Structure 1
Amino acid sequence: MSLWEVHAVKYADRNSRTRRDSFIFDDNHDAPHAMDYFMWVLRRDGEVILVDTGYDTAEARARDRPIRTEPGAALAPLGIRPEDVTELIVTHLHYDHAGGLHLFPNARLHLQAAEMAYATGPCMCHDTLSMPYTAGHICEAVTRLYSGKVTFYDGDAEIRDGVSVHCIGGHSRGLQAVRVRTSAGWLVLASDAAHYYENVFSRKPFPIVVDLQNMLDGFDRLKALASSPDLIVPGHDPLVTKVYPPGAAGHIWRLDHGPVGKVPH
């Protein structure tokens, strides 16, 4: 049985947000509500799979959303150099998840076909839907495709023994969560299928949504995929840094042994 290490790597945060930015239905909409930004590393023996890339300083300036650490440098405490990453699961192509594709030039991308179709199709004629995407990032994904370095999936698929992807959609057409076999059981990296614990456990949809039904159904799918609700890891919740133990550096947390604090559900 193949067990994987899983590390959450925080590269940015944003405190100038309120709850209306995180939940469609919320009575306390003006209250502050911070957001953390993560990449994730899966490791087994000498094998490494990176999940998402974060975004770089140029994108941070363009969107006025500063980062704390360049994504490549953020991986250094784990002994990972960007040029050595050869397998990269892209949960979706929003700027904060695929804004660093160019930093990992040797990586094969693992992507839902629906996400590429969505990010390059007529939906992007609508500013509201195109806002989380950046054209240069999409062009990088297309360039990687024409270099023979993209593997597409249509729904659920096994990437490696103990690592699978599951198309959930909702937030974007081809959003995929990642299921990983760990010593604590099946852990699910929700990415933006649940930005926060509160999204999934209180069934409060996130405001950036292309299909609300898919988003709501996705909350149930996350629960079904994980061995325990405690092993659902939301994509942006600062509480992840409170309930999981610290890792190789101050911006890294170890996930595969399970939480050491109380998960709010």
Structure 2
Amino acid sequence: MRIHHLNTGTMCPIGRRFVNGTGGFFQRARMVCHCLLIETDDGLALVDTGIGLDDIAQPQRLGHRWVRQTAPRLDPAETAVLQIKSLGYSPDDVRHLLLTHLDRDHAGGVPDFPKAKVHVHRDEHAMAVSHQIAAPKGRYIAEQWKHGPDWKFYDEGGDDWFGFKGVRALGDREPDILMIPLPGHTLGHCGIAVRGKDKWLLHAGDSYFFHGQLQAKVRMPLVLGYFQRRVDMDRAARMANQERLRTLKANHGNEVTIFNSHDPVDYENCRCGGH
């Protein structure tokens, strides 16, 4: 499978030192929306969708507070759909959207691919869409799925994957794409594991925010750490899964590349490393 790394939304909050861990206190930080475009035998699969065209046309639907705090660039050229077109594909070639969770900066591009099947953990759908589980007020943006996507649900994983439990996201057609429950940031949060040409990739979503969190004795930037704690739905679960990811990197770093959704260091390392 050929895998493309895409940044589908740049965010530039003030206070680079407190967000990225380097630079000045009053410089603009840089955060990304790291997505994967995977060429499979069953068409294209997109891991997370970032910020979509409708979000850019109507930024108020993202929430004034969120826009003010994160300062997204809102550049249509960064959207997944336009990047996919620039690669020579049609949006209809995207058959599957594999979502780590349904927060606004991960599911914003869902309406740009109306014919795609949308894969999520059942608990995530139960909170964000069907409201069978109460979600924090204002957490999700219902307009991002008002078109009625074709949903595919997952529960707990079954296949063993380096000590984690995964589910074959596309069934037996693509056994090397797994959805791996990593709750904490949200109750239905998942990682997506994909076997690349040389090693596995694990898109860990928002299970951690800063590359140093998978290293020993690296200080978390102050504001980024505060934001991470504030948006945790189950902090104990997120911390436990973060420790499991740290162990995975220590024991199997030569077999698995782990990265998160928003850290530009993770994103650039993946692009430059050719993973």
CA RMSD of aligned residues (A): 3.0
Contact 1:8 1:41 in 2 (8 A): yes
Contact 1:179 1:225 in 2 (8 A): no
Stretches of structure 2 lacking an aligned partner (at least 5 in a row):
158-166
User: Deviation per CA, 1:71-115, whole angstroms, max 9, x where unpaired?
Assistant: 210222333221221111111111111112111011111110010
Contact 2:182 2:191 in 1 (8 A): yes
Selected match of 1:118 from 104, 127, 150? 127
Identity rate, percent? 23
Q: What SS class does the counterpart of residue 192 from structure 2 fall into?
A: strand
* CA spacing shift, 1:221–1:15, aligned 2, 3 Å: same
Is 1:228 matched up with 2:242? no
CA apart distance, 1:55:
1.9
* CA spacing shift, 1:18–1:154, aligned 2, 3 Å: farther
Instruction: Flag the structure with higher helix content.
Output: 2
Counterpart for residue 249 of structure 1: none
Q: What SS class does the counterpart of residue 264 from structure 2 fall into?
A: coil
* CA spacing shift, 1:220–1:188, aligned 2, 3 Å: same
Counterpart for residue 158 of structure 1: 168
Selected match of 1:212 from 221, 235, 243? 235
Distance 1:225 1:117 in 2: 29
Output the amino acid matched with 2:151: V
Counterpart for residue 191 of structure 1: 205
Counterpart for residue 74 of structure 2: 67
CA apart distance, 1:8:
1.3
Q: What SS class does the counterpart of residue 240 from structure 2 fall into?
A: helix
Output the amino acid matched with 1:244: C
How does the TM-score come out when normalised to structure 1?
0.75
Counterpart for residue 265 of structure 2: 239
Counterpart for residue 134 of structure 1: 141
User: Deviation per CA, 1:233-263, whole angstroms, max 9, x where unpaired?
Assistant: 12111113432345xxxxxxx743xxxxxxx
- Pick 1 or 2: higher relative contact order, CA cutoff 8 A, min separation 6: 1
What aligned pairs does 1:51-130 form with structure 2 within 5 A after superposition? 51-60=47-56, 61-62=59-60, 63=62, 64=67, 65-68=72-75, 69=77, 70-119=79-128, 120-121=131-132, 123-124=134-135, 126-127=136-137, 130=138
Output the amino acid matched with 2:253: S
Contact 1:71 1:100 in 2 (8 A): yes
Stretches of structure 1 lacking an aligned partner (at least 5 in a row):
247-253, 257-265
Contact 1:9 1:75 in 2 (8 A): no
Q: What SS class does the counterpart of residue 16 from structure 1 fall into?
A: coil
How does the TM-score come out when normalised to structure 2?
0.73
Contact 2:183 2:234 in 1 (8 A): yes
Contact 1:94 1:134 in 2 (8 A): yes
- For these two proteins, the number of residue pairs brought into alignment is 233
